[in-house]
Structure 1
Amino acid sequence: MRAARPFADLDDGLASLRAALGPVWRDTVVVIATEFGRSLARNRAGGTDHGHGSAMLLAGGALRGGRVVADWPGLAPEPNGGGLLATLDRRAVLKGLLRDHFGIDDGWLDTVIFPDSRAIRALDGIMA
């Protein structure tokens, strides 16, 4: 699996960060995300094409962790060409983090940080 080494490197990096931060880790949030999703089916080159749905990993002592937050649709083929559709807008997650961890006002989140995103509610319950 081509992703095994990068995931091991990520794990090592997060462990090193946690160790280096010491007690500050309890106030820390790390966001790991991609800018696009991937299709489920392999392409001719043995990889995957750009898709719709993606994943976001959150780590840190400031989180209410140990869980997966998702509306998991399963791996059945989708009518959109075989890829997963996004079920949770990443802006909802980031709005929740920015509001609850940094105290940023919802109005700023909706208009300045994520313009024209008033319809996307901040995700509650992320922070410990």
Structure 2
Amino acid sequence: MIVGVRSLSRPLICAINSSRSRVSGSAIDLISALVAGLGPSFEPLVSLFFPSLLGLCAQTSRLFTRRAKACVFVVIRGTQSPSLLPYLAEYSHHKSASLRLVAAEGVLAYMNCAKSIHIERHARILEDIIRLTARDACC
């Protein structure tokens, strides 16, 4: 299943980034359904789809932002993977306020659903993200 989805990743990413809301929405819904079905097994696909989903959260269209944000949280809760943290850290100091907020809320969602052993292992990166988000983005 993972191999099949990986082979379709390029067209799916193009669909996710489409300016047509129906195309983008269908692709985002497909990613959400894949996460729901695969759960933690979705982790090898995180590097393919997660950056595009986070990137949509920086757009000005509330429709795109709302759909992408919902899918981001589905990925976080579904995979509970520490491999999401570097992406959240990277986007936590983006110029878009809505994307910074999604990244901060994503870290909180991860901390609420992840196993304590994962939180302990990745405490340093979590502390860095919290420290970054505690300051204003312009500083």
TM-score normalised by the chain length of structure 1: 0.38
The structure having more radius of gyration, on CA atoms, is 1
Name the one with the larger strand percent.
1
Higher normalized helix content (fraction of residues): 2
